[in-house]
Amino acid sequence: MTTDSLAGRSLIEPDDLSLKELDRILTLGAHIAADPGRYRDVCRGKILATLFFEPSTRTRLSFEAAMQRLGGTTLGFAEPDASSTAKGESLADTIHTVSCYADIIAMRNPKEGAALLASRHSEVPVINAGDGGHHHPTQTLTDLLTIRSVKHKTEGLTVGFCGDLKFGRTVHSLIKTLARYPGNRFVLISPPELELPEYLVSRVLKPAGIPFTTARRLEDTIASLDILYMTRVQKERFFNEEDYLRLKDSYILDKAKLNLAGSSLAVLHPLPRVNEIHPEVDSDPRALYFRQVQFGMYVRMALIALLTGAPLPEENE
58 binds ligand NCD (CB under 6 A): yes
* Of the residues 46, 69, 166, 169, which one makes contact with ligand NCD according to CB under 6 A: 169
122 binds ligand NCD (CB under 6 A): no
Which 266-295 positions form the footprint of ligand NCD (CB under 6 A)?
A: 270-271
Identity of residue 310: A
Alpha-carbon gap, residue 230 to 257, rounded angstroms: 13
Alpha-carbon gap, residue 234 to 110, rounded angstroms: 12
250 binds ligand NCD (CB under 6 A): no
135 binds ligand NCD (CB under 6 A): no
170 binds ligand NCD (CB under 6 A): yes
Which 223-242 positions form the footprint of ligand NCD (CB under 6 A)?
A: 232
Q: Residue 46 or residue 136: which is nearer to ligand NCD going by CB?
A: 136
Q: Residue 26 or residue 312: which is nearer to ligand NCD going by CB?
A: 26
Q: Return the number of other C-beta atoms located less than 10 Å from residue 233's C-beta.
A: 27
163 binds ligand NCD (CB under 6 A): no
Alpha-carbon gap, residue 200 to 169, rounded angstroms: 12
Q: Residue 301 or residue 312: which is nearer to ligand NCD going by CB?
A: 301
Phi, psi of 227 (to 5 degrees): -130, 135
**What stretches of 35-90 show up as alpha helix (H) in DSSP?**
58-69
E strand residue ranges, 155-217: 158-162, 185-189, 212-215
* Distant-in-sequence, close-in-space partners of 267: CB < 8 Å, separation ≥ 6: 228, 230, 253, 258, 277, 281, 284, 286, 287, 288, 289
DSSP letter, residue 287: B
* Of the residues 14, 130, 137, 160, which one makes contact with ligand NCD according to CB under 6 A: 130
At closest approach, how far in Å is the CB of 207 from ligand NCD? 26
Q: Residue 30 or residue 293: which is nearer to ligand NCD going by CB?
A: 293
Q: Residue 56 or residue 99: which is nearer to ligand NCD going by CB?
A: 56
Q: Residue 169 or residue 180: which is nearer to ligand NCD going by CB?
A: 169
Site string for ligand NCD, 174-213 (x = CB under 6 A): ----------------------------------------
Residue 176 · residue 204 · CB < 8 Å:
yes
* Of the residues 85, 139, 177, 190, which one makes contact with ligand NCD according to CB under 6 A: 139
Three-state secondary-structure class, residue 276? coil
Q: Residue 10 or residue 59: which is nearer to ligand NCD going by CB?
A: 59
Q: Residue 58 or residue 151: which is nearer to ligand NCD going by CB?
A: 58
* Distant-in-sequence, close-in-space partners of 258: CB < 8 Å, separation ≥ 6: 222, 265, 267, 281, 284, 286
136 binds ligand NCD (CB under 6 A): yes
Q: Return the number of other C-beta atoms located less than 10 Å from residue 39's C-beta.
A: 23
Alpha-carbon gap, residue 152 to 266, rounded angstroms: 12
Looking from the CA of 115 toward its CB, the CA atoms found within 13 Å total: 31
Q: Residue 180 or residue 232: which is nearer to ligand NCD going by CB?
A: 232
Beta-bridge partner residues of 204: none
At closest approach, how far in Å is the CB of 75 from ligand NCD? 21
Number of residues that bind ligand NCD (CB under 6 A): 10
At closest approach, how far in Å is the CB of 233 from ligand NCD? 9
Interface with ligand NCD by CB under 6 A: which residues? 58-59, 130, 136, 139, 169-170, 232, 270-271
